């Protein structure tokens, strides 16, 4: 039924149609095709919608992560509805850029590490070529780490088996070896002591060769003789600037451009003493007087020409207001050095080498020098004068103690 203009109604009745078998088949086939097309189209749209949904979920996750990060960083900031899409897209791009930058940084670090390892390997190779490796490292490099470790473990294995019974014959052999070693020890020690003494003597000789000695080396004519050091004033002679009628000789001495006469007295028996000592000893005059005085005096004093060396104040060692005669600077073996002096301070460095004498001025009855001749004759034959003089001085001290 159809409503027409003017209020009239048109009634349309369908004409009856006759459906044949062939037409039914065609109609059902077309219907099936249409339904298949409609199903495939719906499947495609469903798969597209699924992809769109997944993509949307991914972007929503990224957006939530970025928004939470920004919210934690600045919780007080709020975004308007219009700014949210723009900020979301910018945060997503920033996140992607940060990931890319981290990947680039990781790649650069890895490349730097590889270059450093390659440089260290090159340095090791150069050092390996220039510096010889120990035999253990060479063996380890040749056979490999595993084989080397196996060999090392085998070498370090300790035998933990039960102790065996000790053989009596082996015990006897060990005891004999110990006895032989004990017998060899004194011989070895003696040999070592001899070597040490030789080294010490060589050291002393080397030291002596670098020291400026006061005397020249011992001459051939004095080989085997000991050295006798004699003081001059108040020991052998007495001098005075005053006129002495009985003076043995007079010596003019220049002092500050003016000449002054020195009157010299000889000690009784001094000439015989000097002659005999000159036959036995190497004679050294060691005085604390100035050379410009003592030298011309000795020229007239030495009648027999037995004085071999002259030492003056310049050779003394000033110490506590005194002039010390240091015998160690003579360049002679101290075991063969004797000093006669009336001043104990002069030989205070070597008291065991001294023969004390009394101070003399003008006593014509003095006989001390003559009395010393036999003692000094015997002393010239001993091996070590220090041992003899040390004992004799101790005896003199004991005698004085008994007297007092």
Write down the CATH number for the domain with range 224-403.
Answer: 3.40.50.1000
Q: How far apart are CA 36 and CA 43, in angstroms?
A: 10
Partners of residue 340 on adjacent β-strands: 230, 355
The predicted pLDDT at position 299 comes to 95
The predicted pLDDT at position 108 comes to 77
Q: How far apart are CA 262 and CA 155, in angstroms?
A: 96
Q: How far apart are CA 217 and CA 219, in angstroms?
A: 6
Q: What are the residue ranges spanned by the domains of the chain?
A: 51-74+81-153, 170-210, 224-403
Phi and psi for 342 in degrees, rounded to 5?
-90, -5
The predicted pLDDT at position 187 comes to 58
The predicted pLDDT at position 84 comes to 46
The predicted pLDDT at position 83 comes to 45
Closest CA to 307 of 332, 341, 335, 270: 270
The predicted pLDDT at position 257 comes to 86
Q: Annotated catalytic residue: which of 72, 208, 233, 295? A: 233
Closest CA to 386 of 353, 359, 351: 353
Query: pLDDT tens across 327-366, in order?
Result: 999 999 999 999 999 999 999 999 999 999 999 999 999 9
Q: How far apart are CA 46 and CA 71, in angstroms?
A: 36
Q: Which residue has the tokens 């719906």?
A: 42
Query: pLDDT tens across 101-150, in order?
Result: 777 777 778 777 878 777 767 765 655 555 555 666 666 666 666 676 66
How many Cβ atoms sit within 10 Å of the Cβ of residue 130? 7
The predicted pLDDT at position 80 comes to 45
Q: How far apart are CA 155 and CA 147, in angstroms?
A: 13
The predicted pLDDT at position 87 comes to 47
- Contact (Cβ atoms closer than 8 angstroms) between residue 263 and residue 203: no
The chain-wide mean pLDDT, for the chain, equals 74
Q: Annotated catalytic residue: which of 201, 208, 231, 366? A: 231
Q: Is 295 a catalytic residue?
A: no
The predicted pLDDT at position 164 comes to 47
Task: Please identify every stretch of the chain with a pLDDT value under 50, giving residue numbers as ranges.
Answer: 2, 4, 15-19, 21, 71-72, 74-89, 156-166, 204, 206-210, 394, 397-404
Query: pLDDT tens across 252-261, in order?
Result: 998 888 999 9
Q: Is 366 a catalytic residue?
A: no
């Amino acid at each position: 039924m159809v409503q027409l203009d003017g209020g009239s109604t048109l009634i349309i009745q369908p004409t009856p149609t006759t459906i044949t078998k062939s037409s039914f088949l065609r109609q059902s086939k077309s219907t099936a095709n249409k339904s298949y097309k409609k199903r495939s189209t719906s499947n495609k749209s469903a798969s597209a919608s699924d992809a769109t949904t997944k993509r949307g979920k991914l972007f929503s996750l990224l957006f939530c992560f970025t928004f939470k990060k920004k919210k934690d960083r600045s919780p007080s900031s709020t975004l308007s509805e219009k700014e949210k899409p723009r900020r979301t897209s910018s945060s997503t791009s920033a996140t992607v850029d940060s990931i890319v930058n981290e990947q680039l940084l990781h790649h650069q670090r890895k490349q730097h590490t590889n270059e450093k390892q390659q440089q260290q390997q090159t340095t090791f190779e150069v050092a390996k070529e220039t510096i010889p490796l120990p035999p253990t490292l060479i063996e380890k490099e040749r056979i490999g780490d595993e084989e080397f470790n196996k060999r090392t473990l085998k070498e370090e294995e300790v035998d933990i088996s039960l102790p065996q019974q000790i053989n009596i014959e082996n015990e006897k052999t060990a005891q004999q070896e110990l006895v032989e070693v004990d017998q060899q020890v004194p011989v070895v020690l003696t040999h070592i002591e001899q070597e040490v003494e030789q080294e010490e003597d060589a050291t002393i000789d080397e030291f002596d060769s670098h020291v400026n000695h006061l005397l020249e080396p011992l001459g051939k004519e004095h080989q085997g003789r000991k050295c006798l050091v004699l003081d001059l004033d108040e020991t052998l002679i007495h001098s005075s600037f005053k006129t002495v009628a009985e003076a043995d000789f007079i010596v003019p001495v220049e002092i500050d451009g003016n000449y002054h006469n020195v009157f010299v007295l000889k000690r009784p028996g001094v000439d015989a003493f000097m002659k005999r000592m000159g036959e036995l000893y190497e004679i050294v005059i060691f005085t604390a007087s100035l050379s410009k005085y003592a030298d011309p005096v000795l020229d007239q004093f030495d009648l027999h020409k037995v004085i071999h060396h002259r030492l003056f104040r310049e050779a003394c060692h000033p110490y506590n207001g005194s002039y010390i005669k240091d015998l160690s600077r003579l360049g002679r073996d101290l075991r063969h050095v004797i000093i006669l002096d009336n001043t104990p301070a002069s030989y205070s460095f070597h008291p065991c080498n001294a023969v004390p004498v009394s101070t003399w001025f003008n006593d014509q009855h003095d006989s001390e020098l003559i009395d010393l001749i036999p003692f000094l004759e015997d002393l010239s034959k001993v091996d070590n004068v220090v041992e003899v003089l040390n004992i004799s001085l101790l005896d003199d001290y004991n005698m004085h103690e008994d007297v007092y």
